[in-house]
Amino acid sequence: MAYFTLSDGVPLYYRDEGQGRPLVLMHALMFGADFFWQKNIPELAKSCRVIAVDNRGVGLSGKPNSGYTIPRFAQDLRELLEGLDLDNVVLAGLSLGGFTALEYIKQFGNDRLGALALMEMTPRLPSAPGWEHPTFGEFPEEMAKGYGTALRADRSIYNDFFQAAFLEAPTGDELDAMVANTWLTPTDVAAEVIDRLAERDVRDQLPDITLPTSLFYGYPNNRILPTALGQWMQSQIPGSELITFENSSHSPFWEEPDKFNAELARVVAER
């Protein structure tokens, strides 16, 4: 186990395996790094240095009473990169992790970064006039803004979401392990982050990205992001490449790990 103490005293848990160019993995909402990336870290660490982080409030990291905003997550990431003296980083963020990656660039530019991988993220979750790629294909703004409140009232609604993240919904021991791991994230923490995500719209930031960028999306069988969002993202980010996963929903890192690992290792080696 490795911990880095943040400037506000919160212990940030991270995995650090392998050697070579650093690849920093930023997870989605409620799974810790050890569980989330279990099918990826061992293979990726054969060809690069993998640092997989638990956000504050998640997994084995500290759980303070505040700080659950995307800007704070980006500041935490900055402190970790500086503390570990990492440069030429491939920053890979999936879903929430993608928002953190873009917020890092907004605050700190490309400093310490060499390439970017955005995975299964939508720059705007709710529906809006003219926006063709909302979550679920349609996600009314009032519903998106009320999701955190609904989660506070009944945590089990999240189980429906993460099962839809797979083409074949997990069952049995696998499902039990997933649910148990999500409970390492307090309900109020998850709800606060969802509230913040529902407010964000980073579409205008995409054309200004100058890092070599790779996009990883489940398509055309994605049950969470069912539209051609990856293709739209590629059209917005100059020089970006798109890798699609036909046999995945929202979780190609889990559903197609061999292809996912090979493509991400290639990104680290070539981008």
pLDDT, one tens digit per residue, over 95-116 is 999 999 999 999 999 999 999 9
Residue 8 · residue 20 · CB < 8 Å:
no
Instruction: Say yes or no to pLDDT of 267 above 90.
Output: yes
Q: What is the pLDDT of residues 5-52, one digit of tens each?
A: 999 999 999 999 999 999 999 999 889 999 999 999 999 999 999 999
Cis peptide bond prior to 220, omega within 30° of 0 = yes
Number of Cβ within 10 Å of residue 198's Cβ equals: 20
CA distance linking residue 77 with residue 197, whole number of Å: 18
Give residue 157's pLDDT.
86
Q: State the average pLDDT over residues 130-156.
A: 93
- The stretches of the chain forming alpha helices (DSSP H) are 33-36, 41-44, 70-83, 96-108, 141-153, 157-164, 172-182, 187-199, 229-236, 252-255, 257-270
> In the prediction, which pLDDT does 260 show?
98
pLDDT at position 48: 98
Mean pLDDT, rounded, for 59-66:
95
DSSP annotation of 204: G
Q: What is the pLDDT of residue 161?
A: 82
Beta carbons within 8 Å of 148's beta carbon, 6+ residues apart: 191, 192, 194, 195, 198
| pLDDT of res. 159 | 79
Radius of gyration of the chain (CA): 17
pLDDT of residue 162: 77
Tell me the pLDDT band of 65, cut-offs 50, 70 and 90: very high
Closest CA to 2 of 34, 35, 40, 36: 34
Mean pLDDT of 118-141: 96
Q: What is the pTM of this model?
A: 0.96
| Nearest alpha-carbon partner for 30 in 246, 181, 215, 241 | 181
Task: Give the rounded percent of residues in the chain with a pLDDT score beyond 70.
Answer: 100
Q: Which amino acid is at 75?
A: Q
The answer to whether 49 touches 20, Cβ cutoff 8 Å, is yes
Residue 13, classed as helix, strand or coil, is strand
Dist CA 63 CA 254 (whole Å) = 26
Average pLDDT of the chain to the nearest whole number: 96
Q: Is the dihedral of CA 165, 166, 172, 178 positive or negative?
A: negative
The whole-number average pLDDT for the span 173-187 is 92
Bridge partner residues of 241 (DSSP)? 214
pLDDT of 1 over the 80 cut: no
Q: Is pLDDT at 158 greater than 90 in this prediction?
A: no
pLDDT value at residue 163: 82
CB 52 within 8 A of CB 15: yes
